[in-house]
DNA sequence: TCATATATTTTACAAGTGGTCAACAACCGG
DNA sequence: CCGGTTGTTGACCACTTGTAAAATATATGA
């Protein structure tokens, strides 16, 4: 016997939320139409009614994940810093904190990225997002080089941006591998001493 | 009609190699008994004869991956450097180069790590391996702090080791996301300038 | 040579998959 | 009140999966 109806938009939201719940709890590999339906307390037929094919559901889940995960937003507090170096510092700190506070989102994003190795469309979407991320850092790095031209001999803004992104990636992995010992401030202090000394 | 026989050890090696081929090409999620059997040109019954359950095959593949991927070996060339700082530098360079030259192994290792989120035994094995990795860096970092006590104010060897490991993780991800623009030397130069300046 | 152990293939099966479809219930404009 | 649109369900299908068992081939040694 059919249950109560719900409007198109609402139902889709519920289903996507359920899909996120299942995928982050049991992995993308265990993301099945029926598991999502059970999580949303619907029949699997209903899920397929709103997302015609499973592929569609997976893609919309990725889209949901990208928009839900608030990435690299330069807040007013950060923009107020007069020195570009301080803005970069604050931004790195913010992103590290975000990743370590949204471990499920980050982990799922990494799983999507692994999936992208075999699915062209997913790879393209993730590449675009990472590029967007890199571009945001690039702007700051260009300001940085303009403000202090002598501080970074022989280093391009592109190179700096790439390092910043990979730096965030490393922190993301580390924060999930060993969340108890992940401390943002100690992290920055350690790397400051370490790499600043490399000959 | 049954094919030619092979001795226990040889067959197991062939099957593990085939399993790696399948898993790195199509992902752990697509690693099925039958796919491995097809890759090894055997019947799926034969695969199950040598590895009783699929779980067993997956675990042995992880073990194979860990031993095959030559991780963090301090070669004689590196050990010859008199300064600990130079040894660290050479080691970082070596590990970055290794990761970017064994992308399939690294990618598969990351997939196993994601799988570890839901499988206790896999998580334990990977944690142990990462701990071993960290411990190897820790030794070098302790030497470093002993050799140059004033260079790293308020930073512990543990903190430095954690950063080194996460640094390698970041490079691993970056090398796979954007392999064309991944240059080890430029990378070190950029981070040297960037983080050395952070206030 | 021939019985026995070992390796391999084949077949069988239950559970679960994505997807289709017909029946049915709720809503809404008339 | 009616009729059509929109959700919802459950039965069903073809297929894949892991696993077990039977059937068959190969090696080995007495």
Under a CB-based contact definition with an 8 Å cutoff, are residues B108 and B65 in contact?
Answer: yes
Over pLDDT 90: what percentage of chain A?
Answer: 40
CA–CA gap between residue A146 and residue A195 (Å, rounded): 23
Query: Which tens digit of pLDDT belongs to each residue from A136-190?
Result: 889 988 998 898 887 777 778 888 888 888 888 888 888 887 777 778 777 777 7
Cα A127 to Cα A113: distance, rounded to the nearest angstrom: 9
pLDDT reported for residue A61? 98
Q: Would you place residue A1 in the very low, low, confident or very high pLDDT band (cuts 50, 70, 90)?
A: very low
Average pLDDT over residues A11-32: 96
Q: Per CA to C1' distance, which residue is closest to D23?
A: B1
Confidence of residue B1 (pLDDT cuts 50, 70, 90): very low
Most confident of B4-13, B16-25, B107-116: B16-25
Indicate the residue of B170, B192, B194 with minimum beta-carbon distance to A169: B170
- Closest-CA distance, A185 to chain B, in angstroms, reads 11
Contact A60, A51 (CB under 8 A): yes
Q: What is the pLDDT of residues A27-56, one digit of tens each?
A: 999 999 999 999 999 999 999 999 999 999
Q: Which residue is associated with the tokens 């999507």? A: A112
Centroid of chain to Cα B30: 21
Nearest CB neighbour to B195, from listed A113, A118, A192: A192
Sign of CA dihedral A148, A153, A155, A160: negative
Whether B3 sits with its Cβ under 7 A from any strand C atom: the answer reads yes
Burial class from Cβ neighbours inside 10 Å (0-12, 13-18, 19+) for residue B108 reads buried
Each residue's pLDDT tens digit, B111-151: 999 999 899 999 999 999 988 888 888 998 899 889 888 77
Q: How far: A43 CA to D11 C1' (Å)?
A: 13
Nearest alpha-carbon partner for A115 in A129, A103, A126, A105 = A126
> Residue B41 above 60 pLDDT?
yes
**Average pLDDT estimate for A53-77:** 88
A9 CA, C29 C1': Å apart: 22
Tens of pLDDT, residues B67-93: 988 667 777 788 888 888 888 888 888
Task: Find the range with the poorest average confidence among A159-173, B116-130, B160-174, B178-192.
Answer: B178-192
Per-residue pLDDT for B11 more than 60? yes
Distance set, CA A6 to CA A9, A56, B100, B111 (Å): 8, 20, 50, 38
Dist. CA A185–CA A198, nearest whole Å: 21
Nearest Cα to B85, choosing from B138, B147, B136, B134? B147
Confidence (pLDDT) at A199: 45
CA of A47 to C1' of C20 (A): 14
Higher pLDDT, B11 or A5: B11
pLDDT of residue A132: 87
Residue of B nearest to A179 (CA): B162
pLDDT of residue B2 exceeding 60, the answer is no
Smallest CA–C1' separation from B56, nucleotide: D18
B48 touches strand D (CB under 7 A): yes
A87–chain B nearest CA distance, Å: 10
pLDDT tens digits for range A92-150: 888 888 888 888 998 999 999 999 989 999 999 999 998 888 888 899 889 988 988 87
What's the pTM? 0.88
Nucleotides of chain C in contact with protein CB (under 7 A) are 6-11, 16-27
Provide the pLDDT for residue B193. 66
d(CA A95, CA A187): 13
CB A20 within 8 A of CB A64: yes
What's chain B's average pLDDT? Answer: 86
């Amino acid at each position: 016997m059919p249950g109560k109806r719900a409007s198109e938009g609402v139902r889709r939201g519920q289903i996507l939320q359920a899909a996120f719940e299942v995928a982050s709890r049991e992995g993308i590999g265990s993301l099945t139409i029926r598991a999502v339906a059970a999580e949303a307390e619907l029949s699997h037929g209903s899920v397929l009614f709103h997302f015609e094919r499973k592929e569609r559901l997976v893609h919309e889940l990725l889209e949901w994940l990208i928009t839900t995960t608030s990435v690299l937003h330069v807040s007013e507090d950060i923009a107020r810093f007069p020195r570009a170096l301080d803005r970069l510092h604050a931004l790195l700190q913010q992103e590290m904190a975000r990743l370590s506070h949204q471990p499920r989102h980050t982990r799922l994003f990494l799983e999507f990225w692994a999936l992208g190795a075999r699915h062209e469309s997913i790879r393209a979407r993730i590449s675009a997002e990472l590029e967007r991320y890199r571009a945001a850092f690039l702007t700051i790095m260009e300001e940085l080089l303009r403000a202090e031209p002598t501080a970074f001999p022989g280093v391009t803004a592109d190179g700096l941006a790439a390092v910043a992104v990979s730096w965030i990636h490393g922190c993301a992995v580390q924060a999930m591998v060993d969340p108890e010992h992940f401390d943002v401030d100690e992290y920055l202090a350690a790397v400051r001493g370490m790499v600043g000394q490399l000959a």
